[in-house]
Amino acid sequence: MTDLQQDTAQHGEHTAPVEAWDAIAALYDQHVAPGESEVATAGLRLAGLQAGDTFLDVAAGPGGLSLPAARLGAKVLATDWSPKMIEHLNARVAAEGLDAEGRVMDCHALDLPNDTYDVTGSLFGVMLVPDQAQALREMVRVTKPGGHVLVMAYGSPSEFEALHAFIAAAQAVVPEFEGPAEDEPLLEFQVADPDVLRQRLIDAGLRDVTVDTNHHERITVRTGQQLWDWTIGSNPIPGILVADLTDRQRADIIQVLDGMVRERSGGDGPAVLTAPLNIGVGTK
């Protein structure tokens, strides 16, 4: 295990430090964020985003939600505490010529004025932070009265197919491989229960709160290597779990994943693995 992975593993409640997010920013940009645009656009529509609106993205990564918002015609400020994530976002914005800007900022203390944005959103971001109540209060604070707050988070981990495929492949190669510790639920799933998400949005000061559970993230892959890259790039935790494996064991896991992908796709075309979503929207 590298020092960074050791730090991350010991950082309490599986909270990865900013350096761990910096370390996977390129993989996230290449293998994860591009596949999020369909579900991101669905969330933005549920939040009522209109062309010309001001939109703030919180824990924006390389732009899984910001880029679709800008493509819908919003004026976007994208914030994330990881400088590398923001570098990738700004590169995508420049390449597409979008009306968006990235700024490094911690979501627990947004360096932004009150009552400013028509819509404030977070895709798989505020979902996983340690003081979620504070982060949600900050999102509400900077939103205009009558504006909307959008929080997109994973639903039940038991239906997260990519995670289960990764753990099953690792256990096929290393039978004693352990997935995430069961006695310490991952912060990533703290609002997997839609009722918990609804209550947290109400507690943050929102009204007319709805939580839509009809959408799924669709992870589309053609090879075991792509499924490995998606998993390692999506969050620092999988990389920690496999940090002590040998190169040979990793190669064997990718081969097992390859077999799984082929079986799922029927050997023809890509395989699609799904993860359930909770899409929360409230009005300030």
- The C-alpha angle with vertex 64 and arms to 137 and 138, in degrees rounded to 5, equals 10
d(C-alpha 280, C-alpha 97), whole Å? 30
**Closest residue by Cα to residue 280 from 158, 156, 194, 217:** 194
- The β-bridge partners of 122 are 151
- The C-alpha angle with vertex 126 and arms to 132 and 72, in degrees rounded to 5, equals 145
- Which residue, 67 or 256, has its beta carbon nearer to ligand SAM? 67
Tell me the closest approach of the beta carbon of residue 226 to ligand SAM, in angstroms: 17
* Burial environment of residue 12 by CB neighbours within 10 A (0 to 12, 13 to 18, 19 or more): exposed
User: Beta strands 143-154 and 271-283: pairing type?
Assistant: antiparallel
* Binding positions for ligand SAM, rule: CB under 6 A: 21, 33, 36, 59-61, 64-65, 80-82, 85, 106-108, 123-125, 129, 235
d(C-alpha 150, C-alpha 46), whole Å? 8
Tell me the closest approach of the beta carbon of residue 190 to ligand SAM, in angstroms: 13
Tell me the closest approach of the beta carbon of residue 211 to ligand SAM, in angstroms: 18
- Which residue, 233 or 256, has its beta carbon nearer to ligand SAM? 233
Tell me the closest approach of the beta carbon of residue 262 to ligand SAM, in angstroms: 28
- Which residue, 80 or 258, has its beta carbon nearer to ligand SAM? 80
Tell me the closest approach of the beta carbon of residue 238 to ligand SAM, in angstroms: 12
The residue whose Cβ lies closest to ligand SAM is: 64
Tell me the closest approach of the beta carbon of residue 187 to ligand SAM, in angstroms: 10
- Which residue, 84 or 284, has its beta carbon nearer to ligand SAM? 84
- Which residue, 17 or 251, has its beta carbon nearer to ligand SAM? 17
d(C-alpha 59, C-alpha 80), whole Å? 4
d(C-alpha 36, C-alpha 41), whole Å? 9
- Which residue, 126 or 256, has its beta carbon nearer to ligand SAM? 126
Sign of torsion, CA 152 156 157 162? Answer: negative
